[in-house]
């Protein structure tokens, strides 16, 4: 299902800009790369368990034994220690993708693909 969605998105983007070359601003790329690395380092500093395999296995076994209440959002396994790093990484990636799309788009210009309408009035 994910692969099918990616194929549809690829075909859509390929049809929007068929043979156009784009240039990447070096300063924007370096700023984006530094933001990603800063977020990654902050996650490592906030959660030193990621660096230790023994601690990760210990936390995983403890969390499997613990019974979570179903009415609390923060007791969801997606926000717990083993998967929290990946969740925050995906959130950071999506935020960066949003910023890149906003940077690429020029709000004063027309839409990505021009629509041509025929005059149908007689």
* pLDDT tens-place string over residues 44-70: 777 655 556 555 565 566 555 554 444
Cβ(64)–Cβ(80) below 8 Å: no
> Is residue 118 domain-resident?
no
3 state SS of 89: helix
Give domain status of residue 9, yes or no: no
In a domain, 6, yes or no: no
Name the most confidently modeled range: 35-39, 103-107, 113-117.
35-39
Domain that holds residue 33: 24-104
Q: How many domains does the chain have?
A: 1
pTM: 0.32
10 Å Cβ neighbour count for 80?
A: 16
- With respect to residue 18, please indicate whether it lies within any of the assigned structural domains: no
């Amino acid at each position: 299902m994910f692969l099918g969605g990616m194929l549809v998105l690829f075909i859509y983007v390929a049809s929007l800009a068929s043979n156009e070359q784009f240039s990447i601003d070096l300063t924007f790329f370096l700023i984006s790369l530094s933001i990603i690395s800063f977020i990654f380092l902050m996650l490592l500093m906030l959660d030193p368990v990621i660096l230790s395999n023994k601690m990760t296995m210990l936390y995983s076994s403890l969390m499997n034994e613990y019974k979570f209440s179903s009415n609390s959002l923060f007791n969801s396994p997606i926000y717990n220690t083993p998967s929290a790093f990946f969740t925050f990484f995906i959130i950071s990636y999506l935020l960066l993708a949003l910023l890149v799309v906003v940077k690429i788009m020029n709000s004063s210009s027309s839409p990505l693909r021009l629509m041509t309408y025929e005059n149908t009035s007689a």
